């Protein structure tokens, strides 16, 4: 395939890109800086809505992973505007460009997030569940609307509602130091569901989505193993052979991180990957223990 990818330097892109190239695909990276000659790069400016349709014309797939790190810095109005614009500008620029193609790409795989569902307690959620409340829910809804709002009827759209990606370079890496010191533990009540997915399965399900035309629309990119916050802490502590019993009270998390703590750490979303299971996707790391061990081995 000829695959165009934005956000290739991020957590997911840096794992996906070499896997796609190893499989024999031609991968073209969209970059903001001047493109290097002969390196499979094209310059674009999503903030200005600039992307030459010729770059996408005739491509087999476009993978859009563009977006500022949601957990980078305490949220305020300025940060939230940047989180939104980095996603919506990039997605709208891509879909507008697709609409101007003579031969539109066959599929657009667009990132989204389980934040779509908001804080839902123990309610079982699948791809048919309605949008929730809060900033992340609104952002995910608008993000998906930008991806599906194009006029092209020739481009299949798959929306990856990603759970917490278990990878050394992501949230897992930030947890390692306190857990290694024996001061890790659950946050708040610890009963909130934390939907998660191993980085190997993010790569695997993206490739699965590219190859399977029946996979379309929202896709819960989460492991089938349901994990509460307390289970996550206990599992990570077990892998590291450290105790994981010191809780962080909810008020302390809110004091340290504000609104971000409420949305990312204290909210509960019991999300199930119904679409992937029905499509026959086979998870490579279906258990959290295995996903954590695989992530640590990759960087040891």
As a whole-number percent, the residues of the chain with pLDDT over 90 amount to 89
Q: What is the pLDDT of residue 278?
A: 97
Q: Is 43 left (phi over 0), alpha (psi -120 to 50) or beta?
A: beta
- Give yes or no for residue 229 having a pLDDT over 70: yes
CATH at residue 129: 3.40.50.720
Average pLDDT, the chain: 95
Q: How confident is the model at residue 20 (pLDDT cuts 50, 70, 90)?
A: very high
- Give yes or no for residue 179 having a pLDDT over 90: yes
Q: How confident is the model at residue 299 (pLDDT cuts 50, 70, 90)?
A: low
pTM of the model: 0.95
Q: How confident is the model at residue 73 (pLDDT cuts 50, 70, 90)?
A: confident
How many domains does the chain divide into?
1
Q: How confident is the model at residue 131 (pLDDT cuts 50, 70, 90)?
A: very high
User: How far is residue 171 from each of residues 66, 168, 174, measured CA to CA in Å?
Assistant: 18, 7, 5
Range of the domain at 57: 2-298
């Amino acid at each position: 395939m000829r695959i165009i990818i934005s956000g290739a330097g991020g957590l997911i892109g840096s794992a996906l890109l070499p896997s796609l190239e190893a499989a024999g695909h031609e991968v073209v990276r969209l970059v903001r800086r001047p493109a290097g000659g002969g390196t499979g790069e094209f310059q674009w400016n999503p903030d200005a809505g600039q992307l030459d349709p010729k770059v996408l014309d005739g491509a087999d797939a476009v993978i859009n992973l563009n977006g500022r790190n949601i957990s980078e810095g305490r949220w305020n109005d300025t940060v939230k505007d940047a989180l939104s614009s980095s996603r919506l500008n990039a997605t709208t620029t891509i879909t507008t460009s697709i609409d101007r193609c003579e031969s539109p790409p066959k599929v657009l795989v667009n990132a989204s997030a389980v934040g779509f569902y908001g804080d839902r307690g123990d309610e079982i959620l699948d791809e048919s569940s309605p949008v929730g409340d809060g900033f992340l829910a609104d952002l995910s809804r608008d993000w998906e609307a930008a991806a599906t709002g194009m006029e092209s009827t020739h481009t299949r759209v798959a929306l990856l509602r990603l759970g917490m990606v278990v990878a050394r370079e992501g949230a897992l890496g930030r947890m390692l130091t306190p857990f290694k010191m024996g001061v890790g533990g659950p946050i708040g009540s610890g009963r909130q569901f934390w939907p998660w997915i191993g980085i190997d399965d993010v790569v695997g399900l993206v490739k699965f989505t590219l190859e399977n035309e029946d996979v379309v629309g929202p896709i819960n990119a989460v492991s089938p193993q349901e994990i509460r916050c307390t289970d996550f802490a206990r599992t990570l502590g077990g892998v590291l052979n450290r105790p994981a019993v010191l809780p962080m009270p909810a008020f302390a998390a809110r004091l340290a991180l504000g609104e971000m703590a409420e949305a990312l750490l204290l909210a509960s979303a019991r999300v199930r990957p119904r679409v992937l299971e029905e499509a026959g996707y086979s998870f490579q790391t279906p258990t959290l223990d295995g996903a954590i061990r695989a992530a640590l081995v990759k960087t040891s």
